[in-house]
Structure 1
Amino acid sequence: MQRLETSPRREADARRLAAWRRRLERRRQVLDLPITIPGAARAYSIAVPANPDAVLDELMAPDPHMPYWATPWASGLALAELLLVRRGALTGRRALELGCGLGITATAAAEVGLDVTASDCFAEALAYTGYNALRNAGQSVHTLLVDWRTPEGRIALAGPREVDLVLAADVLYEAEDIPPLLELLSRLLHQGSQVWLAEPGRATSTRFVDEARAVWTVETEEVERVWPAAAGYAKVRLHTITPR
């Protein structure tokens, strides 16, 4: 009976993924990047733009400070690994990711059983996230096109759907990013919820964490090593932020 139940779903997922891939490839050439993350059931095959520099050029044109989503970064890989390590306490809880990029963190979140909403201010990033999560975790994630740096974006993210875990990897670039993120987290955090923030040690991130410590409890650990997917040798700081 189980085979009869699961086979149609797998076939439907395969058709959906094939159509999804064609949509991604209509815009640009796509490559599959193998990424091994400790704790994952298998190595991920992450779809990425074949020419990420072209994506960067497009992003730099309208906004020189816009984050760069089209390549894996150490912070996102570290946050994905943390999810896999802590998987036992996460199944069934609701998670919101800010700035999902390629969807590596969202894929790990889906694998451990979280009900994931992945947000980004680029529709193309959301398309890659949805595809990569379904392909590698076998689960769909909700996607939300929104910029948390805008008042409208913060209102949308802090809507009626309460979340248990906020995920953010390498989202702080400029000093002006700090006040909107603090405001958003003040709306999202409630007793029993947490924020997991991964960042590479920029001055902006350090200032944000200092300000967050004045309001919430912040526990920090550092991981320094060579990361997969050509992310290179890097130090990542992982912060767990909890209401007092």
Structure 2
Amino acid sequence: MYPFPLGFQTRQEVLDVEGLYVELSIITNTDELMDRLIAQGEQHEDVLDERIPYWADLWPSALALGRYLIQENIIRPGLTVTEMGCGLSLPGIIAGRLGASVTLTDYLSSALDFARHNWAQNLEEPAVFALMDWR
């Protein structure tokens, strides 16, 4: 466990996704994120806009999508992929490792900070990171 640049305690996980190894930094205490949100008060913009830090969890659906991308062999070098609501960016990283040109988007800047960090742990190729609210 080590402090992430944003002040969050993180742990490193190496995931074996269909034989493709992906290293992710993951927040150890996601409840702390919710506590920070609540502490801002009911009238704070983040609370009113429901900017709930769902991004900090490694979702089972992210693992399932990553497995699907590998099993179905649908990502080809040169393909352009956009991950909406990237969170920790597991599917986007897998797409990048499979040769796609990747854009990672989220509506919270802290999610994009983690996505950048996780991307850099796994790939040298650049990705595009975009703050986007598609809700």
TM-score (norm 1): 0.46
Q: For 1:223-242, what aligned pairs fall within 5 Å after superposition? A: none
CA distance in 1, matches of 2:37, 2:120: 26
Deviations 1:13-42 (A, max 9, x none): xxxxxxxx98x43422221122211141xx
> Does residue 27 of the first structure (1) align with residue 7 of the second (2)?
yes
CA change 1:122–1:91 in 2 (3 A) is: same
Match of 2:91 among 88, 91, 105: 105
Identity value in percent: 29
Q: Distance in 1 between matches of 2:81 and 2:90?
A: 14
Is 1:55 equivalent to 2:33 in the alignment? yes
Residues 81 and 142 (structure 1 numbering): CA distance in 2 closer, same or farther, change over 3 Å? same
**C-alpha displacement of 1:78:** 0.7
SS of equivalent residue, structure 1 residue 90 = coil
Q: Matches of 1:55 and 1:76 in 2, distance apart?
A: 20
Larger of the two Rg values belongs to structure: 1
**What is the root-mean-square deviation of aligned Cα atoms in Å?**
2.3
Q: Verify the 8 A CA contact 2:106 2:131 in the aligned structure 1.
A: yes
3-state SS of 1:25 partner? coil
Aligned length, in residue pairs = 126
Counterpart check, 1:72 vs 2:63: no
How many Å separate the matches in 2 of 1:98 and 1:26?
22
In structure 1, the residue corresponding to 2:65 is in which secondary structure?
Answer: helix
Residues 1-244 of structure 1: pairs in structure 2 closer than 5 A: 24-40=4-20, 43-59=21-37, 62=47, 63-64=49-50, 66=52, 68-87=54-73, 89-149=75-135
Q: CA deviation at 1:59?
A: 4.5
Tell me the CA shift for residue 80 of structure 1.
1.1
- State the 1:88 CA deviation: 5.8
Q: Which has the higher helix share?
A: 1
The 1-side partners of 2:131 and 2:101 are apart by: 17
| Moved beyond 4 Å, runs of 4+ | none
Partner Cα separation in structure 1 for residue 18 and residue 27 of structure 2: 24
Q: Which has the higher contact order (CA 8 A, sep 6+)?
A: 2
Counterpart Cα distance in 1 of 2:53 and 2:33? 11
Relative to the length of structure 2, the TM-score reads 0.79
Distance 1:85 1:49 in 2: 28
- Any idea what the Cα deviations from partners look like across 1:43-68, whole Å, max 9, x if unmatched? 22210112211123334661557361
Distance in 2 of aligned mates of 1:144 and 1:124: 12
Structure 2: how far apart are the matches of 1:26 and 1:68?
A: 17
For residues 19 and 37 of structure 2, what CA distance do their matches in structure 1 show? 33
CA distance in 2, matches of 1:59, 1:100: 20
